[in-house]
Structure formats: structure tokens, C-alpha cells
Amino acid sequence: QELEAAFPELKTPDSPTQRVSSDLTEDFPTVEHLTPMLSLDNSYNEADLVDFDQRIRNYLDLPEDYIIEYCVEPKYDGGSIGLIYENDLFVRGATRGDGYRGEEITPNLRTLHSIPLRAAFSRRGIAKVEIRGEAIMRKDIFEKINKAREEDGLPLFANPRNAATGGLRTKDPNETAERKLDAIIYHIGYAVDQQGNNLLPKLGTHSAAIDFLNELGFIVPIHNENFPERTIFHNINDIVDHCQEWQDHRDDYPYEIDGMVIKVNDIALQNRLGSTAHHPRWAIAFKFKAKQATTKLIKVEFQVGKTGVITPVAKLEPVQLAGVTISSVSLHNEDFIRNKDIRLGDTVLVERAGDVIPYIVKPM
């Protein structure tokens, strides 16, 4: 900083001093994505995945013996982001928003050291590119931050996802930096040369595109034998066992994930399949089952909201569920309690719906 202050001509857009801005952001302007950041269709079992495979074959009029190559990766549970690079420089970052427009949060994303301020896309002749990923907090970082907040008497974050998404929209980029977020990149949605020609087909496959991003210094789902975050399959039936294995060991993974994403690997086939207004036809999410645990209802406390609404809150014997200690769960209202016949001293079944919000399913 002292050197750049003395010699301003040495300051460059990718300088480490440009990561954290001293300016506060009063609002986040709405910007359009270069291509839509759509949602994913969901699947929950083998039959759903077989149906997905058949829909692809029907849409493309492929014979039954045609081998479709699929790429399978974790479905990260954080805040979706879109990053634009022009002439190798990071120029804009935005939230997913409604899929077509999001909020520009470039100053905050610059604080993430996993987002290179310069990346050599020009190696492949790419002049402008939009890549997609997830801003996400490691579980161990989440625990440390919550412990520090508890010691300071501050409200605790409910889960890593809330901590990450909230960190993306802080008015002070220094606060974003303190969250120690990672950006995991999993898709190239737009890539053109200086003349505006589409270069995505030249990347060949989705997996090859992700390998290229890895070469450029981005964190991506790694494809290797020792720990295959990204795995290639040639038979849709083999994918279910793989997804189940990830579901069984998800607590061992350093990040929160709520499923797996199955993508047609061939970019040419992706282009032929296209998208609906809601989701790409060439990808689907395999959603993990909600996690459940049993514990004892000790007492009920009542919280008064700002508008005067009184909400009963169940105080439980602390129980570990999906990597988080659950000790309080909303009982919503009197009807909820009566309909489920919840009583003091009950052993109750607790579920984290969507792995985020604790919920009492029923007394046991």
C-alpha cells in the first residue's frame, strides 16, 4: 500500500491491495446475468433419475444403446454467485437473484481469496466469460465464528448457509472478509472471443471446462481417484449408489451439501437440450433426505416479536443434527401444538427441513 501510494502508476486492478475496499456500499444495484442462472429440477430416488435419462433420450431422439456420459458433483449449500471476467480481469460479481437479474456485490466478492482478481482465460482465446459457483463457509470456520460471537454476546448464525449469504450482502466489505468464505466454481455459462463468437463448444465437456478453471486457480469439484468430488458415469443406474454413498458420509465433508448434481457432460448435447423457463434439461439435482434425530422436550418459552406476535419455542435436550447442535425449535402457534399433540416431557422427532430449519415432526 505504501509503495502504491508513493508510485500510483504501479497500482493494478489485480493488486492484493484491491481486495478490500474502504468504501461502504449503500445499496446493491441490480444487474443482468449474461445468461440465465436457472434453478435445477429435483430428483429423490432411482426412478426419478431413470426418468431424467429417458427424457433426454426422447428429446434428442437417441437410441437406447447410446451411452450418455454424466458428470456428478456435490450440490453446495451456500449463496449462488455469477462472476464476469473481461480480458482476464475480474470485473463484476453478482448474486443469483431471480435467475435473470441479481444484485451486484463486486466489492464484497473481491475479498474472497479463492476468487482470482486475474485469471488467464485468454489461454483459450476467451475475452469475456461468466462463471457460476457458490460462496460457502467451511463447517469448522462456522463453528469458530459462532463461538467468537457467543463470547461477544452477539446473536449466533443459524447455519453456514445463512452466515455465507448474509456475508455476501454486508455493506462493509471488511465484514465479508471476516466471514472467511470460499467460492467453489462449478460452471462456465458464457464464453466469447474478441469478436463475440461462442467458445463454449470448444471446451468439449463440462468436466474439461472445470479442469480448465482449476488450472486457472479457482476452487472446483476435484476429479481424482483419492477423493472424487467430481465423477464421470456412463450409466444412469450407477449414479444412485454414488449419491447414496455421499449422503451417508456428508458429515465428513468440510462444506454443507444438500444433494448431488447430475449433468450431461457433453457440452454439444447440453446445447441441443437447452432449458425450460425454470431449469436446464441437461442437469438435475439428487436431493438428500432430511436428517432426523430424537430428543426430549424440556420446557416451552414464549418469544414476543417486534409486532407483538407471541411464538412458543420448545427448549430441547441438545442434540446433534446435520452438524449443528439443536436445542430450540419453534412451535409456531397453539394449533401446531394441538394438531401434533406435543406435551412437556415428550420424546420428539426433530428434522432439519432442507438441512436449515429445525422442525418437530411428531412426538414419539
pLDDT in tens, 120-163: 999 999 999 999 999 999 999 998 998 888 888 877 787 888 89
- On whether the CB atoms of residues 49 and 108 are closer than 8 A, the answer is no
The verdict on whether 75 is a catalytic residue reads: yes
Question: What's the mean pLDDT in 297-316?
Answer: 87
pTM of structure: 0.79
Domains along the chain?
16-287 (3.30.470.30), 291-363 (2.40.50.140)
For residue range 238-265, what is the model confidence (pLDDT) as tens digits?
999 999 999 888 888 999 898 999 999 9
Q: What is the pLDDT of residues 157-189, one digit of tens each?
A: 878 888 999 999 999 999 999 999 999 999 999
Q: Which of 75, 128, 263, 287 is catalytic?
A: 75
Average pLDDT, the chain: 89
